[in-house]
Every structure is written in structure tokens, then in C-alpha cells.
Amino acid sequence: MNDENTVIDAQVAKVNTPAGDDIILDFRNVTKTFPGVVALRDVSLQIKRGEIHGICGENGAGKSTLMKILSGVYPWGTYEGQVFIEGQELRLESSSIRQAIEAGIAIVYQELTLVPGITVGENIFLGKEPLERGVINWDKLYADTQRLLEEYKLDIHPQALVKNLGVGKMQMTEIAKALSENARILILDEPTSALAEAEIEKLMEILRTLKEHGVTCIYISHKLNEFFAITDTITVLRDGRVITTQPTRNLTVEKLVSYMVGREMTERFPESHRQPGEVVLEVEDLHAVDPEEPSREVLKGVSFNLRKGEVLGIAGLMGSGRTELAMTLFGEYGKITRGTVKLEGRPISPKSSRDAMMHGLSLVPEDRKRHGLVLIQSILRNISLPNLDRFATWYKIDDNAELKASRTFAQSLAIKAPHLNVQCNTLSGGNQQKVVISKWLMSNPKVLIMDDPTRGIDVGAKYEIYKLINDLTAQGIAIIMISSDLEEVLGMSNRVMVMHAGRSAGTLDITEATQERVMALATGIA
């Protein structure tokens, strides 16, 4: 690829390209391989200047790999093919993330990268503070921050501490940080995974403002409805290949799903024939406080019951207390100050996750990477970790028994991996979630709490998780399913308990539950 007539600067190599003036990005025959895996296969794709271009596909489709090439994580020479930006070939060298930023490419990751203990302005200009005689000019830093925020209509105070902001404003700060580098291309990777509905709408407004300013946005999400709300064009990747690129107006959700999974999906939620039995769990007027800030009450009166073989969906806006309820029942968060919890008629008060497990409660946490898995450990070790006492004999682990039991659960949940010694950080989101579920099923729970079980999981893997939930209820396991996806709650539950401001606002049978009724309870209108 090096010839005498090609001139290379820090970011781009000037070459002749027939791309039209409206094309800002042009991927040509890009192929990226890892040992034993082809992540991208001959990907060719053009993105227009100033458009919002959606890229979707199942986990493992190649979305992240393509963006890592564009943002410099995988430098030039580690992949085949070419990438052009405004007619110039992008040749980012080793350790080239800074070069990508200088070329006008910025990425906002799902996991925010802000420093919580400093201000918004300090975060935005971290590492590039305006200096005057070797000293930071704070007046200029905050004036530049204010100007940037006003230009893109971002409603944040420049001197606010990041740790005091809500998730939505943290996301705005992350976007402002990227725009401070004069980004022409902004990549947003799952930007709404932790946002409430109002915050998502605000993000959509920001993206429309960016479009007006000529910024090209590449939008990646598992929430298909968001593509139809904001994007101009959608590209679908499957198994590392481009399946289609079409104007959003030409597509429907059904078409998009069929392109993603390679088959028609006539239903989002598998049919179930649940027949809930007797009451297993009873929660009455539960109050709890934040153990690190006892003056802050996080649960202010929650009451519900749960039956054997039932799915009780828990809905509510962000901040309503859903996750706090799950973590308190599991003995890992709130200090109970009032109320009762009964399991099979006996009062319990778990003080730790080990205590909860002994009673028959298990929790699939909201953030599987932080709280559900040891990512650098194998599938085998992750599945057996909470259950090692089952395999302990005289201060030694029975390796054969551990392997046999773990393999049984891995096979029953159809975890896709060549063997159980594969590290969990190499698995797709759906398979990581199956590992988390496997380890808690090994503990033989009576009640399984699932907090946003399909967060960050593609549509095909979601369907597998839904079928698994139906299988578990058929075995008599009672499930509490917390979800930010209202369609998911309505599609999978027997009953829906709605939370508002730390309280249970009401419980609806699925025959009477509608999105309108649930939202009325969740917002405190009803």
C-alpha cells in the first residue's frame, strides 16, 4: 500500500477517490480477522456528510470492530481494505486514538469515561486546558465551555461537579467533550442504555442540533425504535458482512429484524402457558435507607406478592427504586427500616448475597459486566463461583464435579463457546448473560430476580432469553423481571407492579395492563 506517489501525514493519506462531495466516509472491502475468527468480511459502506447513520446487527455482527477501526483502536495495517474520510485514505498508526481525534473522529462509549470528582468544564478540556504562562486560565476554560454548551444547546452548568449530575447530563458532557475536539464524525455506541425516556428525547434533540451544524453521527443501538426516531439511513451487519444499507423511510421494524437475524420473526415474545401456583414471596410495606446515607430513604413503602411459576414484571421510570428494591431483597444494598419480607410464609431479612442464596433468592444484576461476571475468568469459573461449597471436599475443589455441573448448565442454556475455559470477556452480550443466569440457576433458587435481563443484547439473543424465562417458570421458579423496556414487561409478565418515587404505585394483571395505564402509574398521575 506504500508507493512513491502517496503522501502520508499524521492522519490521512491523500489519494484519488471517486467518492462524491456528499460522502464523508467510505469503507472499501474492509476485512478484519482475529485468531480463528473473521470479524469483518469485505465490508464496503458509504456514509453521507451531515446525516445520522444507524448501524445495527446482533452481538458479534462486527459493529464494534468496524468502529474500532474508524476510531484508531485497530490501526492501519492490522486490517485489509481501505477507509476514506473526505476523499483521503485514513491511515491511523499504532496507538492512534489521538490521531483519530485530530482527524475529526470522536466516539462516545456506552460506559462513560468522565472523572466524577471534577467539574463539567474540567472534564471537557481535560488534557487540553488553556494555558497562560504555564498556568491554567480558568476563566477561559469555563468561558469556552459555556460557549460550546450554548452552541449545541446542552443544558449543563460548566462548573457543576460531574458526580452530582444525572446520567442524562453526564451523557451530554461526554458529547460536549467529543465536540470540543472539533469532531466532524461522532460515533455514539449504545448512548441510551442507561437513560430514562425524557433523557432519550433530549438526546434526540441534541443529535438533531448536531445535524444542523453539519456533524455526521453514526448511531449504534439495540433499541430498534430509536433508529426510526432519529436516523436518515440504516446499515445492517450480520456475521461481519453488510447485509443492506437503506434509507430509514424504506424500512420497518419487521424488515430490520429479518435482515439482522437472517429469518422472519413473526413474534417478539414466545408463547407461554404459565399456570402460577401458590404465593412464594410476600413483601409488605417495605421501607429501606441508603446504608451510606441513612437520612436518604430509597424504598418508601413497597408491597407485592409473587407466585410459583409466575413472572412479575416491575416497571417504573429511572430513579423509581426498581434496582434498589432488587438489591435490598438480595441483601446487598438498602438497610430495611420497616416492613416484612416472607418467603414461603417465613419472615426473612437477608444481610448479604450469601444469606439471600441460603434462603433461595438469586439475582441477575442490571450491570452484568460489573456485578455479574469476572470477565477475565473462564465460563467454568464464573458458573461455579457462587456454588463452590457444592464441590469442596476437605479443603479441595472436586474439579470433575465442578466441570460436570457447569457443563450441564452451559449446555441447557445453549451458551455458544468452543469450551468452558473460554474467558467471558470474549463472549457476546447474550452469551455473557447466559453465563450469569447459569451460575444463579446452579444455586437452585426459589425466586430469581432479573434486573434488565436483556439490556445491551440483540434481538435474536433476547428471544432466547425470553424462551429461557418460560422454561424456568415451567420448572416452578418464580421470577421478578425488572425492565426499562415497557413492551418487554407487557410481553413477558403475568402481572405488572409499577413503582413511583420509591413506592409501589399499583399492580395490574396483564389482561388490564396497557402502556398508558403503566405510564400513568409510573409518573404519579394515577
Give the model confidence (pLDDT) of 409-452 as tens digits: 888 777 888 889 888 888 877 788 888 888 888 888 899 999 88
Same domain? For 91 and 195 the reply is yes
Greater pLDDT, 167 or 326: 326
Within a domain: 148? yes
Inter-helix orientation angle 197-212/167-179, to 10°:
20
User: Is residue 337 within 8 Å of 289, Cβ to Cβ?
Assistant: yes
Residues 151 and 297 grouped into a single domain: no
Is residue 78 a part of any domain in this protein? Answer: yes
Which pLDDT band, with edges at 50, 70 and 90, does 2 fall under? very low
DSSP symbol at 161: B
| Alpha-carbon torsion angle 297, 299, 301, 304, nearest 10 | -170
How many CA atoms within 13 Å lie on the side-chain side of 175? 32
Q: How far apart are CA 127 and CA 181, in angstroms?
A: 11
Whether the pLDDT of residue 13 is over 60: the answer is no
Which one of 444, 471, 504 terminates a domain?
Answer: 444
What are the phi and psi torsion angles at 475 (to 5°)?
-85, 0
Same domain, 93 and 194: yes
pLDDT confidence tier of residue 20, bands split at 50, 70 and 90 = low
- Residue 40 near residue 217 (C-beta atoms within 8 A): no
21 lies in the same domain as 77:
yes
C-alpha cell at 512: 388490564
Taking residues 493-520, what's their average pLDDT? 92
Q: For 50-73, how does the pLDDT look when each residue is reduced to its tens digit (9 = 90+)? A: 999 999 987 678 888 899 899 888
User: 286 versus 394: which is more confidently predicted?
Assistant: 286
Strand 447-451, strand 478-482: pairing: parallel
Answer yes or no: is pLDDT of 15 > 60: no
Per-residue model confidence (pLDDT) at position 9 = 34
213 in the Ramachandran plot: left (φ > 0), alpha (ψ -120 to 50) or beta?
alpha
* pLDDT in the model for residue 194: 66
1: in domain = no
Whether 6 shows a pLDDT value over 70: the answer reads no
Share of the chain above pLDDT 90, in %: 38
CA-based nearest residue to 439, from 475, 464, 474, 415: 415
Tell which residue, 233, 232, 155, 150, has the closest CA to residue 199.
155
Q: Are residues 191 and 176 in the same domain?
A: no
Sheet of 478-482, strand order = 361-364, 447-451, 478-482, 311-315, 495-500, 503-509
Q: Which of 444, 461, 496 is the last residue of a domain?
A: 444
Secondary structure (3-state) at 451: strand
CA distance 526 to 524: 6
Residue 273 sits in the same domain as residue 235: no
Residue 420 corresponds to which cell in the numbers above?
Answer: 468452558
The Cα 282–Cα 498 span in angstroms is 16
Reduced to 3 states (helix: H, G, I; strand: E, B; else coil), residue 38 is strand
Q: Which cell goes with 107?
A: 466516539
pLDDT at 10: 33
Q: Which of 155-164, 191-200, 235-244, 334-343 has the lowest mean pLDDT?
A: 191-200
In this predicted structure, what is the pLDDT of residue 128? 87
Question: Average pLDDT for residues 100-124, to the nearest whole number?
Answer: 86
Please provide the average confidence, as pLDDT, over all residues in the chain: 85
- Exposure of 250 in the CB half-sphere (CA atoms within 13 A): 8
Check residue 5 and give its pLDDT: 32
Distance CA 39, CA 33 (A): 6
> Is 266 a residue whose pLDDT tops 80?
no
* Domain contains 307: yes
Q: Model confidence at 125, in pLDDT bands (50, 70, 90)?
A: very high
- Identify whether 365 is part of a domain: no
Residue 11 has pLDDT above 50, yes or no: no
> What distance in Å separates the CA atoms of residue 501 and residue 300, rounded to the nearest whole number?
8
Question: Could you give the CA distance from residue 206 to residue 176 in angstroms, rounded to a whole number?
Answer: 10
Which residues sit opposite 46 in a β-bridge?
26
For residue 301, the model assigns a pLDDT of 95
Confidence of residue 38 (pLDDT cuts 50, 70, 90): confident
Q: Are residues 97 and 117 in the same domain?
A: no
Burial of 152 (0-12, 13-18, 19+ CB in 10 A): middle
In a domain, 510, yes or no: yes
Q: Does 524 lie in the same domain as 430?
A: no
Q: How far apart are CA 305 and CA 266, in angstroms?
A: 33
Same domain? 201 vs 96:
yes
Q: Kindly state the average pLDDT of the residues 229-242.
A: 93
Q: Is residue 72 one of the residues assigned to a domain?
A: yes
| CA within 13 Å, CB half, 508 | 24
Label residue 17 by pLDDT band (50, 70, 90): very low
Q: How many domains does the chain have?
A: 4
Q: How far apart are CA 11 and CA 515, in angstroms?
A: 49
Q: Which residues contact 221 (CB under 8 A, 6 or more apart)?
A: 54, 56, 190, 191, 192, 227
Domain holding 312, by residue range, is: 267-360+446-526
- Which CATH number covers residue 471? 3.40.50.300
Average pLDDT estimate for 148-163: 88
Q: What is the helix (H) or strand (E) element at residue 227, kind and residue range?
A: helix 224-230
pLDDT, residue 1, reads 39
Residue among 376, 375, 380 nearest 391 (CA): 380
pLDDT of residue 278: 96
- CA–CA distance from 49 to each of 46, 198, 220 (Å)? 10, 28, 17
What does the DSSP assignment read for 363-426? EE-S-IIIII--TTSBHHHHHHGGGGGGTBSSSSB-HHHHHHHHHHHHHHTT---SSTTSBGGG
Identify which has the larger pLDDT, 94 or 207: 207
Q: What is the mean pLDDT of residues 511-525?
A: 86
pLDDT-based confidence at residue 76 (cuts at 50, 70, 90): confident
**pLDDT for residue 520:** 85
Which pLDDT score, from 0 to 100, does residue 526 have? 65
What angle is formed at CA 357 by the lines to CA 389 and CA 279, rounded to 5 degrees?
140
Q: Which long-range contacts (CB under 8 A, 24 or more apart) does 164-172 make?
A: 165/120, 166/199, 167/194, 167/195, 167/196, 167/199, 167/318, 168/195, 168/196, 168/198, 168/199, 168/202, 168/203, 170/112, 170/114, 171/108, 171/112, 171/195, 171/199, 171/203, 172/202, 172/203, 172/206
196 vs 502, more confident: 502
In a domain, 391, yes or no: yes
DSSP 91: -
Per-residue burial over 49-72, b if 16 or more Cβ lie within 10 Å, else e, is bbbbbbbbbbbbbbbbbbbbbbbb
Residue of 47 and 291 predicted with greater confidence: 47
- Cβ–Cβ < 8 Å for 461, 435: no
132 and 244 housed in the same domain: no
Together in a domain, 78 and 58: yes
451 and 330, same domain (yes or no)? yes
Query: What's the pLDDT score for residue 196?
Result: 67
**Looking at 238, 261, 284, which one is the last position of a domain?**
261
% the chain with pLDDT above 70: 92
pLDDT-based confidence at 354, cuts 50/70/90?
A: confident
Please give the pLDDT value at position 16.
36
